Structure 1
């Protein structure tokens, strides 16, 4: 079928946002009211339009094209397909504007009678974009059109907001429609709301006017900022002006005021609609326990991470399936939870209600799936002190449960992780969509751990190297580590910082003081009780390091010979001297062996798999050390943070952009990748060998919590580096 080329004079073309273009002009062929847009035969979108013939017999059109990424395209061919598949070819656009006032001015000048239709189209576009975020240009277009065509028709005299952000409006009007419809609220911007309204008699008004009570679904603008409320009637757009001496109800008063007004409304269908809307409004009170139905709900935990979302954990006992929906509401949010929550067994709930008259005979033996965990993503710009609640939709009404949200403390975040089922089939999506972003935002607000320095051995003015020995596992004795250092002349001019993190045994400081005196070492004790792992301990102690070079040393790493510190120093001073092509600055690690002398660490390398997926793997792990006989010093993708030397300045720069993880497992690799990201190189020295003792953890942990933490950390690492860590 051939294209139909049209002769058109495009009077105005305005780009409202990245995806939306408004066209106005004269045309010789009618355009479809709804159709498909093809740009150069490939990119497709939607077209909505309106054609009319003016008094002089000329055909005009106003239409909106929505194509993803339209702002970045320069199409040479624009086609519109109607419902029958016929194609209409438009002329190429030459002068596209971004200022909506250009379109409003063109309509005023050329076709003023089309301004009302233009506002109808703009409102329909806004309705189709709800939840996507409206552009400033779209708001300006709506405002300009409304101010051009909307006529005054009454006043809003009493305004008040409900807890869920909905708006109550009381006033009077000649033509405000009864029942359900849509209105535009003009404030700083312009927003579209579903509304339900009913009239009531007022003796002070003329016969053709009536009082009105309207409920506008939220989130609505603050009453103090509202300028007009626009509504559509059969003969065009009108608006309620805001009465100069309007009354703005205090928070929490709107529900009671609206209920008091219901008795004055005319008894018709509109009255029932307003009454239902008022009954559905939350007023801050729990109402589930007042139901005469076998429905009860309990809250175990509600956690909110501002800017990320909410986690809700509790139980719902509903043996007769009376609850049709469970929705989290507040601060302009309305998110259905029961369509996507995880159910958990809660036998204790069944036992607690087994003898309740409402539930006797209704509880199925063995059916204990009453518990739930659910997540809700938070909309942008929600206030930090916003309030939330759960709404239970029933056959003949709703019931509410307030959600007193906990702040994202370390303990509450651990409780959240412990409540999630790591065996859920949807766990990957839960981690990606909810847990990962929530924990990342919570971690970003966490302050760096504080530390206090206690000098316990001799002090050095210019130490050769600063040795960081972090202790975060509850051990009370590191005498063997200090003894090995005292027996090596390399450590005579090294300062040793024993960093005591969270969970440190109270006897550790006394032992360090005693060893420092006995071995005559330059030892300092750094108390950092807020550091939960060795990496946080190093971060806390780094300001106390005085040397230009830092040695990261785990208490589990023990030297087997003297002189290894000097070998590391030579490697980072002159990497080429040890056979490496690496360039300074360098982070250098030796080979680490298990106690049976099999290989624990011999460099970490990136391995590219199918589809370009990158995985970081430990080379030769578990192999006999004889595999290293022919190996020479070489650059690797990552060193070992259990034993590594690097310039202090390089470590400071890498730590400044520290990755946030729940466990310590990915932090060593993350640190090395950050060293490389700021210009450093990782170097592995195969002929320099130390033993890394495979120690048992000294703390008791929840296996389920550990699994969840590992899943979140894997996601965090993959998000940052677009790679994974080999098991």
Structure 2
């Protein structure tokens, strides 16, 4: 330490000036001043004819005086002048000193001498946060030595940071007890011989207990074998130092979970979030722990007129949390619905509730009572971690709180999707409910199902054609009643046998052995080569068709349902022949008939419902197959995915079917809209007739919940294509945009003309 008196001062200054070396060429100038009512004093440093960069803080002393502490770097300037201003009537006071005269390292005791408790925290924050990066002190050995001594003076015997549980990926859950004024962790640093390092550690500070203490939990890497060093935890108003022990045996997560976490759902949910953020193994461990030690289900069921409520749905994925249940509030006492989470304030959900009427059984035979069903979505919940039993509170104006907790919820995306589709009865669904409540979680389910879907397996029956002219892709899902008739019809068509490859895509892989056996027998019976692509997991119509198209090698691609049966031979080349490069026909569909000969499809068009949503309709549906207007070849807004033929190159260019549509519906019209956006037309060809036993397979799907899934898909199509569909239908109704196609021109040598594509752009 170097003490200097001011020089060249007109009036003797009430000062005490000290100089300390922090490390290398970095110094700390401390100027102690008497209390002054004249404002906030400041110190400017000059050396070598220029002003030096410096950082200063003001520190209060226990006796009421003030100490200005200025950190600066001296790089051979010789004498440095410190000018104090703004302290009193004497004006500026200047002191000169030479830092080269200070050789020893700063003494922490001298620097801390006489400092008030809050001033010690201010100085510690500067030494730990601000000054090391500013002056390059984070790895300076003498500064690290000084800082360690400084912290051990504040915390002479720091408690060791002990692990509470082993997590995954080499991570530990650690716990510390901190003061009550430690309300939020701002920074965590590790101090050891290698340097002062800022750590980005997930943390949670609990509420104060009866003694005023709080629990702090951290997720940190397993320490080295020998350990050592200090862990510094800083909040806005408090500082905590813990020693870092060497590697040791840590409790298992299961033991910790069965104890403390079993009764502390906020802490439990926070640990779930941290595990899910570490890795897929961590996410699976989080799911396992919640199922292994479930929390008690909480609800309030009453048959009187007092408020009652139940939370029976709370599914969580990357989009957020969807909750659902019912409540009875005859006297309208409801004030707020609070959704608790792992850390932070609970989420107010009342304004997000979508409500609808329900009837509840009273316990007496056949008797029910009216109640209000609800569903709500919270996007800002748990960062997608699989919290399986969140806690919800119903706050009443009377001050009463009803605590709700559901049974353990599903974590897999397929089951979450099915639960979400049943959250709101279809008759009460509105576009607002879909957009604000169901659509986000359904979209996340579709994304997760696509990202985690295993690769399909392929089995071949018979020799595969080297260069097929057409590829026929047929998705299968649980219903195989029509395969014998369909394969027999294909096998009896000479052009099909000679030029087409047949690809079945099984979207119910649990039946792979059964279907493979069936197709193998059909191949032996009819000699028709075919392939079976078995999906690794059910993905829906779009994903199955896209998987089959990836393995297609024909120039033309025919996407056909498993319940579509040709009425005669030659249907496929007749449809392919309608594709025309010069007329820019990009897709074609046939006439589809019910088994009684009535029309199922003669082209697809769009019409709004009473809610303004565009729905898909089929021209002349239900009319006799011989109905005149249905037997005219013409351009149409779209054709059904039950049988659509297009160049494979175009299908690939457009990205195939969009897998955002749930389970199966509206993805075919979406594809048609993409064809039109790319500048191609769509033709209905009534000269080709096939039988379609409509929806025989999808009606067997327990997940379909036709009303909710179909309404979601119609809403999604409208949201994406509203303006384009409006313009398209206006053009067809006025015959403005789609004039009659010109007479066919002589076809090119290739059966399927080659197209020049341009990237689709929104209209």
Aligned to 2:114: none
Shift, 1:436, TM fit: 0.7
Shift, 1:725, TM fit: 7.8
d(CA) in 2 for partners of 1:519 and 1:198? 78
Shift, 1:708, TM fit: 1.3
Describe the shift of the 1:323–1:255 C-alpha distance in structure 2 as closer, same or farther (beyond 3 A): farther
Aligned to 1:689: 688
**Aligned ranges 1:50-199 → 2 under 5 Å:** 170-171=178-179, 185-186=186-187
Q: Secondary structure of the residue that 1:538 maps to in structure 2?
A: helix
Q: Which runs of 5+ in 1 are unaligned?
A: 1-52, 57-100, 102-107, 114-139, 201-211, 232-239, 258-282, 355-364
Aligned to 2:544: 537
Task: Give yes or no for contact 1:670–1:717 (8 Å, CA) kept in 2.
Answer: yes
d(CA) in 2 for partners of 1:709 and 1:700? 14
Aligned to 1:133: none
d(CA) in 2 for partners of 1:508 and 1:372? 42
Task: Give yes or no for contact 2:320–2:384 (8 Å, CA) kept in 1.
Answer: no
d(CA) in 2 for partners of 1:288 and 1:111? 66
Shift, 1:337, TM fit: 4.2
Shift, 1:565, TM fit: 2.4
Aligned to 1:644: 644
Aligned to 1:428: 431
Corresponding pairs, count: 521
Describe the shift of the 1:243–1:697 C-alpha distance in structure 2 as closer, same or farther (beyond 3 A): same
Task: Give yes or no for contact 1:466–1:497 (8 Å, CA) kept in 2.
Answer: yes
Shift, 1:709, TM fit: 1.3
Instruction: Find out whether 1:600 has 2:598 as its counterpart.
Output: no
Aligned to 1:119: none
Aligned to 2:708: 708
Q: Deviations over 1:170-208 (max 9, x none)?
A: 449xxx7xxxx98784457999x99998998xxxxxxxx
d(CA) in 1 for partners of 2:556 and 2:671? 16
Aligned to 1:416: 420
Within the candidate set 427, 442, 445, 1:442 is matched to: 445
d(CA) in 1 for partners of 2:494 and 2:684? 21
Q: TM-score w.r.t. structure 1 length?
A: 0.54
Aligned to 2:241: 243
Task: Give yes or no for contact 1:185–1:226 (8 Å, CA) kept in 2.
Answer: no
d(CA) in 2 for partners of 1:650 and 1:591? 22
Describe the shift of the 1:298–1:520 C-alpha distance in structure 2 as closer, same or farther (beyond 3 A): same
Task: Give yes or no for contact 1:160–1:223 (8 Å, CA) kept in 2.
Answer: no
Aligned to 1:569: 576
d(CA) in 1 for partners of 2:386 and 2:514? 42
Within the candidate set 490, 501, 508, 1:495 is matched to: 501
d(CA) in 2 for partners of 1:507 and 1:284? 38
Aligned to 2:476: 471
Describe the shift of the 1:560–1:401 C-alpha distance in structure 2 as closer, same or farther (beyond 3 A): closer
Q: Deviations over 1:442-480 (max 9, x none)?
A: 111114475444434554232232222333361423344
Task: Give yes or no for contact 1:604–1:618 (8 Å, CA) kept in 2.
Answer: yes
Task: Give yes or no for contact 2:504–2:530 (8 Å, CA) kept in 1.
Answer: yes
Task: Give yes or no for contact 1:161–1:254 (8 Å, CA) kept in 2.
Answer: no
Shift, 1:684, TM fit: 1.0
**Aligned ranges 1:238-637 → 2 under 5 Å:** 240-245=238-243, 286=296, 300-305=312-317, 307-314=318-325, 325-332=336-343, 334-337=346-349, 340=353, 342=355, 345=358, 347-348=360-361, 350-351=362-363, 367=369, 369=371, 373-379=375-381, 381=383, 383=385, 388-391=390-393, 395=399, 401=405, 404-424=408-428, 427-446=430-449, 447-448=452-453, 451-457=456-462, 459-472=464-477, 474-493=479-498, 494-502=500-508, 512-528=519-535, 530-531=537-538, 533-572=540-579, 574-576=580-582, 580-582=583-585, 586-592=586-592, 596=597, 598=599, 600-602=601-603, 604=605, 615=614, 620-622=619-621, 625-627=627-629, 634=635, 637=637
Describe the shift of the 1:497–1:246 C-alpha distance in structure 2 as closer, same or farther (beyond 3 A): closer
Q: Secondary structure of the residue that 2:377 maps to in structure 1?
A: strand
Task: Give yes or no for contact 2:446–2:662 (8 Å, CA) kept in 1.
Answer: no
Q: TM-score w.r.t. structure 2 length?
A: 0.52
Describe the shift of the 1:55–1:332 C-alpha distance in structure 2 as closer, same or farther (beyond 3 A): closer
d(CA) in 2 for partners of 1:596 and 1:390? 56
d(CA) in 1 for partners of 2:665 and 2:407? 35
Task: Give yes or no for contact 1:158–1:170 (8 Å, CA) kept in 2.
Answer: no
Q: Deviations over 1:533-560 (max 9, x none)?
A: 5443323333443433322223444444
Shift, 1:666, TM fit: 0.6
Shift, 1:441, TM fit: 0.7
Q: Deviations over 1:398-432 (max 9, x none)?
A: 8574774420342343133224223347x433321
d(CA) in 2 for partners of 1:429 and 1:540? 33
d(CA) in 1 for partners of 2:482 and 2:631? 35
Q: Secondary structure of the residue that 2:688 maps to in structure 1?
A: strand
Task: Give yes or no for contact 1:614–1:724 (8 Å, CA) kept in 2.
Answer: no
Q: Which has the larger radius of gyration?
A: 2
d(CA) in 2 for partners of 1:660 and 1:290? 38
d(CA) in 2 for partners of 1:255 and 1:660? 38
Task: Give yes or no for contact 1:288–1:297 (8 Å, CA) kept in 2.
Answer: no
**Aligned ranges 1:29-48 → 2 under 5 Å:** none
Task: Give yes or no for contact 1:161–1:168 (8 Å, CA) kept in 2.
Answer: no
Shift, 1:438, TM fit: 0.4
Shift, 1:440, TM fit: 0.7
Describe the shift of the 1:227–1:297 C-alpha distance in structure 2 as closer, same or farther (beyond 3 A): same
d(CA) in 2 for partners of 1:316 and 1:443? 30
Q: Which runs of 5+ in 2 are unaligned?
A: 1-36, 41-54, 56-70, 73-82, 87-125, 135-150, 165-172, 189-198, 222-230, 265-292, 730-763
Q: Deviations over 1:367-416 (max 9, x none)?
A: 45387544333347454569733346584888574774420342343133
